Amino acid sequence: MKIAIDIGGTSIRIAKVYGKEIKDLLIFDTNINEPKESYEKIKEYINQAKQESELISIGLCVPGPLDLKKGMILTTHNLPGWSNLNIVEMFKKDFDVPILFNNDANIAALGQAIILKKTSVLFVTVSTGIGAGYVNDNKILNGFTTNACEVANAIPDLSQGDEIKSGIEFFGSGSNIPRQLKKRGVEVKNATEAFEIFNNKNNPIVNDYFKELEDKFVQFFATGIYFLNPEVLVVGGSVALNNQEFFKRIFKRLEVVTKDIAYATPCEFAKDSTNATLLGCVFQ
């Protein structure tokens, strides 16, 4: 038996994995300010599971950026109390098995590769934030400092004045769409309301913003395709999955923008995200 743990800014998912079969999934709220409280719940689950079957390994993922060499969470905006935490050492003190650890987007990419039976996957999540992961030959690309595909500030708009907060996440993530519209004089509660207004096509300010956002996503995805030449681009996250018609238009435009590489990179929405990520945790 292996244990898979997906630690997110809203909830934690933990499950037993036998081969590729996931059992006894438990989901509970993350204490974003106090990791020890969440860890105690995780530890209790694992200790109970150990009474049923031999524990082989523990695989976990958390939002980045991370230091994979040290096993540390660095500065994670969605988990403020978990910053600068050596989470691998925390687990090693209690469990004498291999502790596998990586960025949640990297693990999601690996999970999608497993689910889709692909060997090369560029995965992008468009949700509260925007993240990415790349798997080639069934291996995660971690990069020199283990922070490859930390794409929040990718394609920065250097004319905006804030060079470290002008990239794709700061323009088009779920948390930033309302902020961008507020700058333009339109107040919305959240990204869901923004898309509702856009879909009605009766607000020219919102229409113009979403046209610009569509262009930025085309640029962003095309750049990833040109750099990495994946077998497939997979897009997940609540903003993308809840607004698929918007992203289908982007996928269609990518067929034209990326045709120079003589391979029409298929674009798909993420499948079975929870199970895929849990499988990625234990097969990393």
**pLDDT (tens digit per residue) in 100-150:** 999 999 999 999 999 999 999 999 999 988 999 999 999 999 999 999 999
pLDDT tens digit sequence for 174-215: 999 999 999 999 999 999 999 999 999 999 999 999 999 999
Q: What is the mean pLDDT of residues 79-99?
A: 96
pLDDT at 96: 97
Convert the chain into a string of H (helix), E (strand) and C (coil). CEEEEEECCCEEEEEEEECCEEEEEEEEECCCCCHHHHHHHHHHHHHHHHCCCCCCEEEEEECCCEECCCCEECCCCCCHHHCCEEHHHHHHCCCCCCEEEEEHHHHHHHHHHHHHCCCEEEEEEECCCEEEEEEECCEECCCCCCCCCCCCCCCCCHHHCCCCCCCHHHHHCCCCHHHHHHHCCCCCCCHHHHHHHHHHCCCHHHHHHHHHHHHHHHHHHHHHHHHHCCCEEEEECHHHHCCHHHHHHHHHHHHHHCHHHCCCCCEEECCCHHHHHHHHHHHC
pLDDT at 188: 98
d(CA 237, CA 248): 14
pLDDT at residue 231 above 90? yes
* Of 27-36, 56-65, 159-168, minimum mean pLDDT range: 159-168
Dihedral pair phi/psi, residue 215, rounded to 5°: -60, -40
pLDDT at residue 159 above 90? no
- Top-tier CATH class for 111-273: alpha beta
Sorting pLDDT into bands at 50, 70 and 90, what band is 9?
confident
Q: What is the mean pLDDT of residues 57-64?
A: 94
pLDDT at residue 52 above 90? yes
Average pLDDT, the chain: 96
Per-domain boundaries in the chain: 2-108, 111-273
pLDDT at 38: 97
pLDDT at 64: 85
- Top-tier CATH class for 2-108: alpha beta
pLDDT at 78: 78
pLDDT at 75: 83
pLDDT tens digit sequence for 200-211: 999 999 999 999
pLDDT at 161: 79
- Name the residue among 261, 2, 266 with its Cα closest to residue 116: 266
Q: What is the mean pLDDT of residues 60-66?
A: 92
Burial zone of 257 (CB within 10 Å; 0-12 exposed, 13-18 middle, 19+ buried): middle
**What are the beta bridge partners of residue 2?**
17, 57
Q: Do domains 2-108 and 111-273 have the same CATH topology?
A: yes
